[in-house]
Chains A and B, each alone.
Chain A
Amino acid sequence: MSIDHTTVRHIARLARLAVADDAVAPLARELERVLALADQLTTADLSGIAPMAHPHAQPLAWREDRVTEPDRADAFLALAPDARGGLYLVPKVIE
């Protein structure tokens, strides 16, 4: 599986990771090597085999519809790099 530079940039964009220009080529090589590992999966006979998303077949447990969480705005906002007026701030987004 060959990974070109456009693909690296595209994937980096999807993942919101800044990649320096001189890092693109080495990253492409690295990704190729890891994905080459994955190509070994094509050797398996998967007829009749369903994907396994969870190790154990267990039913989903539901929660009763009750308010159980107190207001911890102060404690949580204090963790933020930039929070003012009770809001988390980011550079202005234009829609």
Chain B
Amino acid sequence: MSTQWQPVIGLEIHAQLATHSKLFSGAPTAYGAEPNTQAAAVDIALPGTLPVPNRAALEKAIAFGLSVDATIARDSVFARKNYFYPDLPKGYQISQYERPIVAEGRLAVRLDDGRTLDVRIERAHIEEDAGKSLHDAFHAATGIDLNRAGTPLLEIVSAPVLHSAQEAVAYMRTVHTLVRWLGICDGNMQEGSFRCDANVSVRPAGVEKLGTRTEIKNVNSFRFVEKAIEYEIERQIRALENGETIVQETRLYDPAHHRTRPMRSKESADDYRYFPDPDLPPLAVDEALIARVRDGLPELPQQRQARYVAALGLPEADAAQLCADRATADYFEAVLAAAPGEAKVCANWVLGELAAALNDAAVPIERSNVSAAALAGLLVRVREGAISGKTAKEVFAAMWAGEGDADSVIAARGLRQISDSGALAATIDAVLAEFPKQTADYRAGNEKLLQFFVGQAMKRTRGQANPQQLNALLVEKLAG
């Protein structure tokens, strides 16, 4: 069979909104508490309890919507999604169905190959999270912890416009960066605050009609999302080429065996019987609120990235990397502010030495051993010529290890570059005197020998000669 297949992928991302209390109750949302100690009467659906929505959740949803140029619904509605599951205490989830708070937005996604994808976001809506089922807590029983029940989620639904696992992951990363950048979600996938369901189907290339899709649920890392989607695409293509049909079903990714498998418990497709929640009047959003949220928005990653390219002259790739994370971009700008001049140099250091050190120590930039001010101090010394670029790396390592700021390290280790022309001249004279034959050869035309003299001078000064000055002076003296 030589059919060309086009994968079609849509992602549903559930971002836990970083509020202090739950969406419909005043219980805390902090991660890691003892089971059921953060479940209020409303969260466990005691008879007679009622939901009252959290203002901060609405504001965060609107912030997201504004950041993706979406329409903010002036009157959206909370709806009940009815189904039975032990981690869903009311027997329904309060979500949004026909009138979500955010509709029709778009997000520019930069792919690894440099292309930019304009991804259409169909909608984003607010809903409450369910609790957790612990299947291994007891023999023959499943234990339910309702701490998570009622935590606010923003469900972000992309249009099915992604056509490879790589595009899907790039989109997912872009959304991840954005929600963290806005401060609306901490993006911690290990803790489940950022989860992704992928809808995957394939169709013959050139055909409009979408194939049957499967839904891969709750994948909690970028790597697994990529692998799961890749596997699923393969699986579907193989099946279709074998003449089989794709069953519309929900599947889970099994990382141990690198494959997806159907979820066993799901019965026939649930009829959720959505209807507007009678306990909650419509969410009226006025212009004043939208304006307030808009005013509170930070410069968005895409805007900052563009600024770095246009105003600072950084290459796209560097700008994108710096803007992958707000803390990194802020750090970079702090360094630049304290060491004005070459943006590229700052970028190189942040993305190079600093990134490597952070990676090795497995520490986020917010907990960097070297502050932006300290790094700026180092870069100033380099620019002045007090130390060479090469020496700077040694100094940085020492700073990271806690030996003090740049000046202290340079002084303590005697690393100051020799830039004094008198001292350099003396060194050069000594070198030329030591190697008369090479001097003559150079003067006779063998200009490649310059590096030899540079090397010798560096040896004499234990690497501390200012290379530019040394070079210039050497050329001058050799010229006679």
Contacts and interface: CB of A to CB of B under 8 A. Distances in A.
Touch A–B, Cβ below 8 Å = yes
A37 interface: no
B54 A76 contact: no
Contacts of A71: 37-38
B279 to A, nearest CB: 10
A14 B271 contact: yes
B282 interface: yes
B44 A65 contact: no
A68 interface: yes
A30 to B, nearest CB: 20
A93 B39 contact: no
Interface of A is mostly: loop
B283 interface: yes
A66 B21 contact: yes
Contacts of A63: 21, 26, 52-55
Given A58-B281, A91-B142, A69 B40 contact: yes
Contacts of A68: 21, 26
A67 B144 contact: no
B143 A89 contact: yes
Interface string B30-61: 00001111111100101000001111111000
Contacts of A93: 86, 133, 135, 142, 265
B142 A92 contact: yes
Nearest to B42: A69
Contacts, number: 128
Contacts of B27: 67, 69
A90 B142 contact: yes
A73 interface: yes
Nearest to A94: B264
A26 interface: no
Given A67-B20, A71-B37, A71-B38, A88 B264 contact: no
B150 to A, nearest CB: 10
A19 B138 CA distance: 31
B263 interface: yes
B54 A86 contact: no
Contacts of A84: 138, 143
A46 B412 CA distance: 88
Interface residues of A, number: 36
Contact of A65 (B55, B135, B140): B55
B141 interface: yes
B282 A16 contact: no
B134 interface: yes
Given A89-B144, A95-B265, A67 B21 contact: yes
A71 B35 CA distance: 11
B278 interface: yes
B280 interface: yes
A85 interface: yes
Contacts of A82: 141
Contacts of A69: 21, 25-28, 40-41
Interface in A45-95: 53-54, 57-69, 71-73, 76-77, 79, 82, 84-95
B54 A88 contact: no
A87 B54 contact: no
B19 interface: yes
Contact of A73 (B34, B56, B141): B34
Contacts of B167: none
Contact of A88 (B38, B144, B276): B144
For the complex of A and B, 4 pairs with smallest distance between CB atoms:
A87-B143, A68-B26, A65-B56, A62-B55
Given A65-B56, A86-B34, A88-B36, 7 more contacts: A63-B52, A65-B19, A69-B21, A76-B41, A84-B143, A89-B144, A91-B142
29 contacts: A14-B271, A53-B276, A54-B278, A54-B281, A60-B281, A60-B283, A62-B55, A63-B54, A65-B19, A65-B57, A66-B20, A69-B41, A72-B41, A76-B39, A79-B46, A84-B143, A86-B35, A87-B35, A87-B36, A87-B138, A87-B144, A88-B86, A89-B143, A93-B133, A93-B135, A93-B265, A94-B264, A94-B265, A95-B252
